[in-house]
Structure 1
Amino acid sequence: MAAAKARAEAEAAKTRATFSRKEMDIKIEKACLEAELDVLQQEKEAEAAIAKAVVMEAAADELCSQRSLKDFQSLPSSEGSHEKVSEYVAKHIKVDDNHPDEQFDSSQQPQQPSNLLTLDEEHYSSLNLGQVQSNMDHGIQQH
């Protein structure tokens, strides 16, 4: 009888082991399916966020376009702007008697003052003599 009891326990253990392997396979499959569901959920949320961003960007672009159009329409007419610019230019082009340099006539030869160049010895060595001659020819005074 002890042998029969031992054999019965061995068969029961063998059957439990078989079912344990089937349970393990199903649990592994379940874990894989749950992992796939988690990934799918994350992808769904990401796609929804992208779609929302696209719609919001389009709405923002449209709003900016409408504001730009309103801003453009609220600008003064170009005729008024041209008049203001013309008045400003005319006002500032007038020659002021206090600024004789602005009355320079390019057709006249400039008069060369007798002390055209004033150089100290330190600057003389670094000065390009060709530039000095050119400056003298054009009446430019250096200090």
Structure 2
Amino acid sequence: MKERMPFVVDIVIGVVLIAVGLVMRVEYYNTMVFAAGVGLVSAGTVHLARVIYWQAPQRQAAYQARKQEAHINAVDERKQFLRMKAGHIAYQIMLIVLFGVALVLALARAQAWVILMVFLLTVFQWVIGVVVFRILEKRM
């Protein structure tokens, strides 16, 4: 039951958001709230069904094997290094993409605040990367 509870909570919150979205009068916001509720209910239902499927008595051996493999992958130093390397590469790619988007927006003569926002997001990502690196460097 402990593994199922977060998904049940997601479904309940999703139902509440759907109900709020249906009774709201502001058309723009009720669509967003309703869509968020549908997303939560859908995701929670799919994950709950997955947990129920794998916890069935006839699948316990396969489920335990999958849990054991996931645990091994979580503590394996090589896999941890690969995850960190993948995160670093994704960080570098996103910096390049954000700078590229800012350049394309500038060449397309978008409004200045849009270009500034993308540029500031890029700078923010870079600063966060440096700060997190310094914190991790001191910790290890």
Q: TM-score category by the smaller chain? A: under 0.3
Q: What is the TM-score normalised by the length of structure 2?
A: 0.26
Structure that is richer in helix per residue: 2
Between Structure 1 and Structure 2, whose CA radius of gyration is higher? 1
Q: What is the TM-score normalised by the length of structure 1?
A: 0.26
